[in-house]
Amino acid sequence: MTQADQPRGASATASKDRVKIFDTTLRDGEQSPGATMTHDEKLEIASMLDEMGVDIIEAGFPIASDGDFAAVSEIAKNARQAIICGLARANLKDIDRCWEAVRHAARPRIHTFIGTSPLHRAIPNLTRDEMADRIHETVTHARNLCEDVQWSPMDATRTEWDYLARVVEIAIKAGATTINIPDTVGYTAPVESADLIRRLIAEVPGAADVTFATHCHNDLGMATANSLAAVEGGARQIECTINGLGERAGNTALEEVVMALKVRGDILPYETGVDSRKIMAISRRVSAVSGFPVQFNKAIVGKNAFAHESGIHQDGMLKNPENFEIMRPVDVGLTETSLVMGKHSGRAALRSKLKDLGYDLADNQLQDVFVRFKALADRKKEVMDDDLIALVQAEERAAEDRIRVERLRVVCGTDGPQEAELTLTVDGEERSSTATGDGPVDAAFNAVKALVDHSARLQLYQVSAVTEGTDAQATVTVRMEEDGRIVSGQSADTDTVVASVKAYVNALNRLLVRREKAGKDAREVSYKDVG
């Protein structure tokens, strides 16, 4: 790469240390309430991660369910370059199940963990010595199965120093090749993160022979800073997720650490193997399949990350983009121009534009999107990049839906009552209903409830504009909970009420899948108990 090709702000260095990128979107990221992905979605995300150059993909928690086991196994079989890792608790049954799933990979890894802080030691009610013995036993067992073993002391940053050093030494002697130091609850600060890694490497026997990793959560908003500090302290593996997806406030965001290392190579002399030009495509896909929208001001991948509205900023950008952009849009996979498509654009132009946006569609998929595109172009004067992305994502979400929206008519206004007439297709059968409610969206949702039996509670209803103007598409996200099962749904349309109903129905489709899976798992457990 020439100096001209480097991201803005980067400076060439003679030699850079390699930092491995360990992506846990499919495991820790999927644990976010409502972010559950289907089998095919997991395989697709894993393929994109592999293609973009991620070093290790934590594909799942094989013992959690038969579905998780199947996904990890198939990801392992299909991986081209990446190490495929599965997670296992500190017991032999978990580790054996994990190995059965990842053994198909050309480069398998077992990741086993146990909570070592006083709070976490109390959960299994183990003494320090009893836990130390279990760590030795389980890491040894994992190493006998697999040459590449990662071990994590969960809640390491709240574990007493003497005990943390003791168990890290035990794991190294038992054969762990990577020692991951998790900040499980996002408690630590950058100076502590760097000092902890530095001290472990300096004081624990055998530490120089293994790779130290960092796994940070964002509860105090410092996950990226803590991860980069750990690298400066000697860690050479960062655990992260696309869009920072994860439990509570999320994990370290892959896009943030990768671009920080690229842009600030002058003070962070480290490099990764990630092709940053693929970041936007996978960010959009993870957002779509997880149902978690990316906030507009999110670093690197947010809608406003490369937008400039201030007159001073716009003037500076016109004179020289480097005045207000420390990296180029193209460095993260954004097209430099937002080509406007219209009703006269043909299939070839649409295919080319979608390919620029990271979507390489098969002919039948392109035809379906083309029909939707023409319909949208008749309603909008200009169809922008984000409009096209919303169309593709809507088509992907609707591909295997059991419930589909056929017709919707709403009556609203100041006089009330607000009324919705709705027709759905449910398993191939048309059903219609009329309902009233407190506003058109509430009326439409009540009509859905009358047609599809469910007891799910609406946890989140969120509307955002895809583009600007009164004819902009609205993207609606809903999150629902039923009997502990949390699902999300998304849709976009120029009519906000239509988008709302489609998002609600999308969530219900996911709920049906979760119900069937739960029923299947229960039947399998019952069968095993009888057998």
Contacts of 124 (CB under 8 A, 6+ apart): 114, 131
Q: Measuring CA to CA, how many Å separate 451 from each of 46, 421, 429, 477, 506? A: 36, 11, 11, 21, 14
Residue type, position 163, single letter: Y
Q: Measuring CA to CA, how many Å separate 171 from each of 14, 206, 211, 427? A: 35, 10, 12, 53
3-state secondary structure at position 415: coil
Helical spans, DSSP H, in 79-222: 92-102, 118-121, 128-145, 161-174, 190-203
Report the number of secondary-structure helices (H) and strands (E) in the chain. 16, 16
Tell me: cis bond preceding 417? Omega within 30 of 0 counts: yes
Identify the burial level of 470 via C-beta atoms within 10 angstroms of its C-beta, where 0-12 means exposed, 13-18 middle and 19 or more buried: exposed
For 277-288, letters b (16+ CB in 10 Å) and e give: ebbbbbbbbbbb
Question: Parallel, antiparallel, or unpaired: how do β-strands 178-183 and 149-154 relate?
Answer: parallel
Instruction: Output the six-digit token pair for 121.
Output: 């030691």
- The response to whether 251 counts as a known ligand-binding position is yes
Triad 235, 239, 241: Cα angle to 5°: 150
3-state secondary structure at position 66: helix
- The response to whether 40 counts as a known ligand-binding position is no
Triad 180, 181, 187: Cα angle to 5°: 150
Contacts of 439 (CB under 8 A, 6+ apart): 412, 418
Query: What's the CA gap between 184 and 319, in Å, rounded?
Result: 45
Query: What's the CA gap between 521 and 94, in Å, rounded?
Result: 18
In the chain, the largest separation of any two C-alpha atoms, in whole Å, equals 77
- N residues, the chain: 531
Query: What's the CA gap between 54 and 273, in Å, rounded?
Result: 7
Q: Between the CA atoms of 253, 259, 265 and 267, what dihedral angle is there, to the nearest 10 degrees?
A: -40
Instruction: Output the six-digit token pair for 172.
Output: 């190294």
Query: What's the CA gap between 478 and 168, in Å, rounded?
Result: 43
- The response to whether 104 counts as a known ligand-binding position is no
Q: Between the CA atoms of 40, 44, 45 and 51, what dihedral angle is there, to the nearest 10 degrees?
A: 160
Query: Do residues 497 and 445 touch, judged by C-beta distance below 8 A?
Result: no
- The response to whether 368 counts as a known ligand-binding position is no
Residues annotated in a binding site for Mn(2+): 28, 215, 217, 251
Q: List residues forming the annotated binding site.
A: 28, 215, 217, 251
